[in-house]
Amino acid sequence: MEAGWRLWEAIWRLYGGCGGSAEGAAAGDLPRMLVAVLVILLLALLYKVTQRPSGFPPGVWGWPIVGYVPPRDVPLAQHLNTLRKKFGDIFTSLTTATLTCSSARSYSVDDKEILEFFKMVSVNFDIIQGPAALLDLYPWLIHIMPTFLKNSWMRVNQLDESRERIHSLLKDIIDDHCKTLDTDNPRDYIDVYLTEHLKDDTHLPALGHQDILTNTEYINLLANLSDLFVAGSETTSSTLRWACLYLALHPEVQTKIQKEIDSVVPRDTLPSLEHKEEFVDNFGVV
């Protein structure tokens, strides 16, 4: 029995036991056991979070929490094409045929108001694609990050200013619609929105004033228009830019599309909805 205790004491001393006795060694080993358990749990957690979920498509390995970080020295579009060649199509989308009429007002290409609007939209997208994206990924940072960091590094103050200017432009459009509203002849989305709210007697003021809507309804309309104008303008222009690029890189596709257009729409004739049914393969492109 005594020999067994001596062997036990020697083993614990060899592995860093404390107190010079088996009892002291056992007591001193408790933190070590806890550390070992925590390390094992951490490794198991890392293994779990880095494994691809069952049924998911193949892809690149990502860092825990942060995820995959693309290289900064390669253009993103070029890098995505490289990943596509290795793993297959990395994006899927559902496209639906939607026609949205936000405002019946038309703008010329050199209209100062619309040029300023697109400039602000471009600035907003540049900002939200930079460090400010962290606030979208981790909203709790908004409450703990110093204001000077949010403004100097993430440019949140510029984002706020740009948003206010966009809202100011949209408010002018809404006010103009309130003053010129004809409930029997709605011109666009705004007119339909206003007309629907005028069906309630509690909202019947003297027509031509902004108080057609309650404050909440006005804010909701403003938010809806922001989504339609901002998201619609950026996605449409981005789609057209990429379409022009791919057509420039694939002239054979250009030729095919041009032949079909010429076969349906005579030269020196503007296309109309009447030609829609006659397009077979490339109506989506047009």
Give the DSSP letter string of 6-59: HHHHHHHHHTT--TTSHHHHHHHTHHHHHHHHHHHHHHHHHHHHHSPPTTPPP-
| 173 neighbors 218 (Cβ within 8 angstroms) | no
Instruction: Flag whether 49 is in a domain.
Output: yes
Residues 64-117 have pLDDT tens digits of 666 777 787 888 778 888 888 888 776 654 444 333 455 555 555 566 777 777
pLDDT at residue 193 is higher than 50: yes
pLDDT of residue 65: 66
Alpha helices in 132-228, H assignment, sequence order: 133-137, 141-144, 147-152, 156-179, 189-198, 215-226
Q: How crowded is the C-beta side of 12, counted as CA atoms within 13 Å?
A: 22
This prediction's pTM: 0.50
Domain that holds residue 171: 112-249
Exposed e or buried b for every residue in 93-109, given b needs 16+ CB within 10 A? eeeeeeeeebbeeeeee
Q: What is the mean predicted confidence (pLDDT) over 13-36? A: 59
The last residue of one of the domains, among 25, 43, 73, is 73
Task: Report the C-alpha gap between 175 and 181 in whole angstroms.
Answer: 10
62 and 117 share one domain: no
Cα angle for residues 109, 112, 118 (degrees, 5° grid): 70
Domain identity same for 118 and 211: yes
| Distance between CA atoms of residues 284 and 250, nearest Å | 17
Between 50-54, 139-143, 149-153, the lowest mean confidence (pLDDT) is in 50-54
Using the predicted structure, report yes or no on whether residue 45 has a pLDDT greater than 70: yes
CA 40 to chain centre: 37
Q: Are residues 47 and 139 in the same domain?
A: no
Distance (Å, whole) CA 104 – CA 190: 9
Query: Which of 73, 104, 122 corresponds to the end of one domain?
Result: 73
| Domain match, 51 and 137 both | no
Inform me whether the pLDDT recorded for 9 exceeds 70: no
Q: Tell whether the model's pLDDT for residue 204 goes beyond 80.
A: no
Share of the chain above pLDDT 90, in %: 0
Domain count, the chain: 2
What are the residues whose beta carbons fall under 8 Å from the beta carbon of 150, sequence distance 6 or more?
135, 142, 156, 157
Residue 146: inside a domain, yes or no?
A: yes
Amino acid 208: pLDDT: 42
Report if residue 15 sits inside a domain. yes
Using only C-alpha atoms, the chain has a radius of gyration, in whole angstroms, of 32
The Cα–Cα gap between 99 and 102 comes to 10
Place of tokens 């069952």: 54
Q: How many helices (H) and strands (E) does the chain have?
A: 13, 0
pLDDT mean across residues, the chain: 74
Confidence of residue 40 (pLDDT cuts 50, 70, 90): confident
206, pLDDT greater than 50: no
Write down the pLDDT at residue 27. Answer: 54
| Vertex 109: Cα angle to 108 and 110 (nearest 5) | 90
